[in-house]
Amino acid sequence: MTRLDNQQIAERDLRVVWHPCTQMKDHETLPLVPIARGEGPWLYDFDGRRYLDAISSWWVNLFGHCNPTINAALRQQLGRLEHVILAGFTHEPVLELSERLVKLLPEGLTRCFYADNGSAGVEVAVKMSYHYWLNRGQPAKRRFVTLSNSYHGETLGALSVGDVALYKQVYQPLLLDVITVPSPDCYAREAGEDWESHSRRMFAHMEATLERHAHEVAAVIVEPLVQCAGGMRMYHPVWLSMLREACDRHGVHLIADEIAVGFGRTGTLFACEQASIRPDFICLSKGLTSGYLPLSVVVTTEDVFDAFYDDYTKLSAFLHSHSFTGNPLACTAALATLDLFASGQVLERNRTLAARMARAAAPLADHPGVGEVRQTGMILAIEMVRDRLGRQPFDWRERRGLRAYRHALSREVLLRPLGNVLYWMPPYVLTDEEVDLLGVVTAESLELACA
């Protein structure tokens, strides 16, 4: 057999594979990148080129590709059990993972329900919250409150409770009727206003909505601290503390979607810790398995669990399932991930790494095409604008981000801008030199994209 090269693979691929979140016609001019192998933060193609994975392969990878610890754990588990039904049966990886998550999560989150991807996890939380109120004799509480510019996944329920027009608008006729409240997004703050004052001020919208609608609302769903798919827009933790207090006062659940921000992304293991709050539901996925295998978990309270616990004939049980619920291999990858957090000083090291990222991005802040450089922990975003003073955005049809993407690839860096937002959300194993390379290549990409 002859050795495959990039072009051969790409040609065959484009005849049969329909790629996610892609206008396939783009590939008439945009080369597809076939990856042969990965190691640490690097991906290697079939032509001998490599790419620094600055976006953690869609925000999932934490400890590098082909991590030796996770690989070894998976090999062991493969020899024991690949999968078993989780209804009526159980296994060690799911048991141990649940015990360890409950210990790590804010106190009071004690019941773990598994699904197999982030969107499915959001569906679980949404259905459970509605069903809780139904079981408690409050069937009117069936609506959900969400934030403008939020993202919670692509399945119809998850899409309903999100608000990124690009993904949502076409499907609107198929979706649930939700209540959308302005986001505390600090990019929109007044000149001279700090993040905290802006976030506090913006809470008035949420308070007014809850006052008016609490009787028909099951839950508020939010992405704690960073609205990732919505362009890495960030806000102050005080807004979450205010939300917790208001949800309690109005008798509404709080669903924290930490699918993207969980597991050390924002500087703490979970973003909610920065507001010292305990949500009623927390959704975890992505980094849960260090990006190895699809898995999600919704962790909730004894109060919620109790509302479903009764004689079978009362028909109050949560009869939701997925074929691969609690898959042992995926749970093993998650356990190895927790081992890595426990054995190394990951959060401490991330603080140093985040400071290095800030230094590497600092020179970009004064560029005429940059409206803002913002950062929360291991997420750093650069907002490209047409006019810096008026913060006039570039027309989306100009596809400036795509220009940056192309240039960065030619320089061995995988950036995947969200519209006009360039961002870094790298694996936690980057070296200082790799961070500096990101800075240099991003500066070049920005220059080209804004020209």
Ligand X SMILES: *Cc1c(COP(=O)(O)O)cnc(C)c1O
Contact residues for ligand X, defined by CB under 6 A: 117-119, 122, 151-153, 223, 228-229, 257, 259-260, 285
Minimum distance of ligand X from residue 4's CB (angstroms): 29
Minimum distance of ligand X from residue 285's CB (angstroms): 5
CB closer to ligand X out of 149 and 445: 149
Minimum distance of ligand X from residue 402's CB (angstroms): 21
- Do the Cβ atoms of 129 and 220 come closer than 8 Å? no
Going by C-alpha positions, the residue among 399, 384, 385 that lies closest to residue 30 is: 399
CA pair distance 7, 13, nearest whole angstrom: 10
CB closer to ligand X out of 112 and 259: 259
Going by C-alpha positions, the residue among 95, 67, 69, 98 that lies closest to residue 81 is: 95
Going by C-alpha positions, the residue among 360, 374, 377, 368 that lies closest to residue 434 is: 360
CB closer to ligand X out of 117 and 350: 117
CB closer to ligand X out of 378 and 441: 378
Which DSSP letter does residue 39 get? E
CA pair distance 394, 384, nearest whole angstrom: 8
Please state, as a whole number, how many other Cβ atoms lie within 10 Å of the Cβ of residue 398: 12
Q: Which residue has the closest beta carbon to ligand X?
A: 118
Minimum distance of ligand X from residue 152's CB (angstroms): 5
Q: Show the CA angle centred on residue 318, arms to residues 315 and 321, nearest 5°.
A: 130
CB closer to ligand X out of 240 and 260: 260
Which amino acid, one-letter code, is at 412? E
CB closer to ligand X out of 165 and 440: 165
- Do the Cβ atoms of 327 and 116 come closer than 8 Å? yes
Minimum distance of ligand X from residue 241's CB (angstroms): 20
The position carrying tokens 């598994």 is: 114
Minimum distance of ligand X from residue 29's CB (angstroms): 27
CB closer to ligand X out of 228 and 299: 228
CB closer to ligand X out of 229 and 333: 229
Can you tell me whether residue 387 is helix, strand or coil?
strand
CA pair distance 38, 45, nearest whole angstrom: 9
Going by C-alpha positions, the residue among 352, 348, 328, 437 that lies closest to residue 53 is: 437
- Sign for the CA dihedral angle at 399, 404, 407, 408 comes to negative
CA pair distance 259, 293, nearest whole angstrom: 14
Minimum distance of ligand X from residue 235's CB (angstroms): 14
Minimum distance of ligand X from residue 121's CB (angstroms): 7
